[in-house]
Amino acid sequence: MKTALTDLLGCRYPVVQTAMGWVADANLVIATGRAGGFGFIAGAVMTPREIEEQIKAVKAATDAPFGVNFHMFVPDAADIVALCIKYQVAAVSYSRSPVPALVAQLKAAGIVCMPTIGAAKHAAKAVAMGADALVVQGGEGGGHTGGVASTVLLPEVVKSVDVPVVAAGGFKDGDGLVAALAFGASGIAMGTRFLLTQESPVPMATKQCYISATPEQMVVRTVLDGIPQRMLYNRYLRSLESSSSLGMLLRAIKNGLAFSRMTQSSLLGMMRSAWQMSRSGDVTFAQTMMAANAPMMIQQAIVSGRPDQGVLPGGQIAGTIDDIPPVESLIEEIMATAMDRLAQLETLKKAP
């Protein structure tokens, strides 16, 4: 299938595997690329050295194009940009507070800049700051998410920008792909659907929690860092909601220290980055400092396989997924269904 997105990224199909922290590793990206999709390495929870190892692993296994996701507000963002340029990854994705100088470096190197937005008001600003394409995540999406459904947000953004738009939030199959194309998007991006594949590194005990969930159990809460996030409503999340403000602050400090050790960054550097972000007006200083809560709590459930001891981010679509296929089978089925649906729609045309 040829769209503006496949032309821009060089992939066969307009299907993007998003950069889920602790999930989107080299193996998942390799499987996605081999199947014709476009995968992103989840560099936001990695050190620069780990990102480099992941990039090299993907390049050694496949010639398919792929990307890297990271936060431009972290102290070592310039080092990550240098790695992306050194290895000529096809694209980068980011969300909060892009740094103009870093975006300029990436664009000068011919790397596609593809941020994620969750509100229509951010679309034009993101393009003005160098975005070559936009991932537009509706409120159905997992993790940090907005409050407007994809069916409302997507057409509004498509009308406002002249770059390819990728629909995210509530997509899992070929019918969703065709629906997104009908709204004017150039493809779809999926996280939860790729999390629930055989190549996903998530332990089976955790995958089963998602498989058993209903759409109503995939709730939006602000308890982690003051910013809305969609997660599975499990026992651990219930316990967080009953914690005191002091308890959450102490938890944030503990997680901040753990996160700084994990990413080999200093706590002072994280605080400086948090202050710079807060000055942009998008989030408060306290919210940014609490941002370490999410990755560390997610790690317990996603990496360690203890779903009741951490949070489980995921899209509302998780409540409708009941299988764990190989990535190749998933993408083949998505494209076959999309082609069948397009053929059926073609029959609806009136005869001349």
Q: Name the nearest CA neighbour of 333 among 15, 19, 2.
A: 15
Check whether 19 has a pLDDT greater than 70.
Answer: yes
> Domains of the chain: which residue ranges?
4-201+324-346, 205-316
Residues 233, 308: Cα–Cα separation, whole Å: 10
Specify the residue for token string 């396989």: 305
pLDDT at 334: 98
Residues 153, 146: Cα–Cα separation, whole Å: 10
Residues 310, 239: Cα–Cα separation, whole Å: 10
Question: In terms of pLDDT, which residue wins out, 255 or 46?
Answer: 46
Query: pLDDT of 136-179, one tens digit each?
Result: 999 999 988 999 999 999 999 999 999 999 999 999 999 999 99
Tell me the two tokens of residue 241: 């909601």
Average pLDDT over residues 320-328: 98
Specify the residue for token string 């489980």: 312
Check whether 254 has a pLDDT greater than 70.
Answer: no
Chain-centroid distance, C-alpha 201? 16
Residues 123, 140: Cα–Cα separation, whole Å: 18
pLDDT at 245: 59
123 pLDDT tier (thresholds 50, 70, 90): very high
Ordered DSSP codes for 274-320? HHHHHHTTSS-HHHHHGGGHHHHHHHHHHTSS-GGGS--B--GGGGG
Taking a C-beta distance cutoff of 8 angstroms, is the pair 178, 341 a contact?
A: yes
Query: pLDDT of 211-253, one tens digit each?
Result: 999 999 999 998 877 788 999 999 988 988 886 655 555 665 5
Partners of 41 in the beta sheet? 68
Specify the residue for token string 């307009």: 14
Check whether 134 has a pLDDT greater than 70.
Answer: yes
Query: pLDDT of 301-322, one tens digit each?
Result: 887 788 988 889 999 999 999 9
Question: In terms of pLDDT, which residue wins out, 145 or 38?
Answer: 38
Who's near 140: CB < 8 A, 6+ residues apart?
149, 150, 169, 170, 230, 315, 316, 317
279 pLDDT tier (thresholds 50, 70, 90): low
Give domain 4-201+324-346's CATH architecture. Answer: Alpha-Beta Barrel (3.20)
pLDDT at 241: 84
Q: What is the DSSP letter of 351?
A: P
291 pLDDT tier (thresholds 50, 70, 90): low
Query: pLDDT of 174-201, one tens digit each?
Result: 999 999 999 999 999 999 999 999 999 9
Judging by DSSP bridges, how do beta strands 229-232 and 143-144 pair with one another? antiparallel
pTM listed for this prediction: 0.88
Tell me the CA distances in angstroms from 254 to 19, 243, 291, 292, 297, one per residue in order: 25, 15, 12, 9, 11
